[in-house]
Structure 1
């Protein structure tokens, strides 16, 4: 008596990676966990702009986390010292220590990089 077992690697791979499959669910859990860390680490309201999804990539399943806040690159990379001038009005208006200030020019000192997405990835391991 002989027994022959043949495994169709492609079918097995598709079975594991399909929506609802074990690998897909595990990838969803890990991606959601990292996205939660990113929301917690993001400054201000930037965490409200974070979304995530699981996609089929060239080497299998991939978790994708996206922050589509308009200033996310300035936060991640930091900024150099720069000048801020009014665009539409004649003056800039803001508050300093409870006093309203009007000015035509602000010398912004710049900001340090804040790689909250990288920190979230490290925390989610």
Structure 2
């Protein structure tokens, strides 16, 4: 998932330095705002875009789309056929053939980081 910050002039100058600072700041905010371990999957770079330099923030976590868009209630089943799920409930280990996930609300932490970093 990519979140682009701002565009700037040519490489090596004061404008690129400012763009790097701002993009790094937004990436740090995104790391803090990201749910769970997603913050460890955030990286950033300065790339040449169609209208100049762009600061790009990338989250490579496999579930980032689910965090950004949210999910509807759904069943969770084991990966293996005839397998079971194992999890903790009130300190007790529980085994089950499936679990009912209540769904999750959208959490657009990348857009929030972009707003907070400006």
**TM-score, structure 1 length as denominator?**
0.83
Tell me the residue number matched to 2:84.
Answer: 91
2: CA distance, partners of 1:29 / 1:106: 44
Structure 1: 5+ residue stretches without partners: 1-15
State how far apart, in whole Å, the 2-side matches of 1:69 and 1:34 are. Answer: 18
- Cα distance between partner residues in 2 of 1:59 and 1:97: 55
Shift of 1:21: 1.1
Higher strand share: 2
The alignment of Structure 1 onto Structure 2 pairs a total of residues equal to 109
Deviation at 1:90, TM superposition (A): 2.1
Which 4+ stretches in 1 moved above 3 angstroms? none
In the alignment, the residues of structure 2 paired with residue 43 and residue 91 of structure 1 have an alpha-carbon distance, to the nearest angstrom, of 26
User: Which residue among 22, 29, 36 is the counterpart of 2:21?
Assistant: 29
Q: Does 1:77 align with 2:69?
A: yes
CA displacement at 1:73 relative to structure 2: 0.6
Report which of the two structures shows the higher radius of gyration computed on alpha carbons. Answer: 1
1:17 counterpart SS class: coil
Post-superposition CA distance 1:54-106 (Å, at most 9, x none)? 11110111000000001111111100000111121521110011000011011
TM-score (normalizing by structure 2)? 0.88
Alignment partner of 1:68 is 2:60: yes
1:56 aligned residue:
48
Report the structure, 1 or 2, having the larger helix content: 1
State the superposition RMSD in angstroms. Answer: 1.1
